[in-house]
Every structure is written in structure tokens, then in C-alpha cells.
Amino acid sequence: MIDKTAREAQAIVDARKDFAEALNALGLMAPFFDRTAAEIDQLIEAAVTGYIDSMQAQGAKPERDGRLPADPIPF
């Protein structure tokens, strides 16, 4: 688990609604219905962390057409 900022913690709480809607749309709410808020937050955080880690790793590699991502600002 990361040491979240207040905004990051709030974003995870705010994502619960979208997570619940996705579970309902997929017919998967039943296994998650009795989970605690902390357990749901852990799932959301894992998905977000995996997504961000992947995007950062991909950003370090050139695209198929040989383009490189813009250099980061050096500060």
C-alpha cells in the first residue's frame, strides 16, 4: 500500500460508485456485497497502481513508429 495524499484517498472513495456500477453491469455484485469499504478500496488501489505502473513503463519505450515520448522537464 502507498502513502496516499488526501486527494488520492478521496479519489479512491469517489471511484467506489463506478466500481459498484461495473460490478452490477457484469453481474458480479453478489461476491462483493458484504466486503468492507477498506477491502473495496484495496481492489481499486491495486487496479489504479497497476495501470499507472504500466503506463509509466510504456512511456519509457519508443512507439512502434520509432517516436520517443517527450523528454521530461529536468527539475
pLDDT confidence tier of residue 10, bands split at 50, 70 and 90: very high
**Nearby residues of 48 by Cβ (< 8 Å), 6 or more positions away:** 12, 15
Confidence at residue 59, expressed as pLDDT on a 0 to 100 scale: 80
Any idea of the CA torsion for 73, 7, 33, 31, to the nearest 10 degrees?
Answer: 20
| pLDDT of 19 above 60 | yes
Q: Who wins on pLDDT, 73 or 55?
A: 55
pLDDT tens-digit series, residues 33-55: 999 999 999 999 999 999 999 88
**Nearby residues of 37 by Cβ (< 8 Å), 6 or more positions away:** 13, 16
pLDDT tens-digit series, residues 24-36: 999 999 999 999 9
Q: How far is residue 61's CA from residue 75's CA, in Å, rounded to a whole number?
A: 21
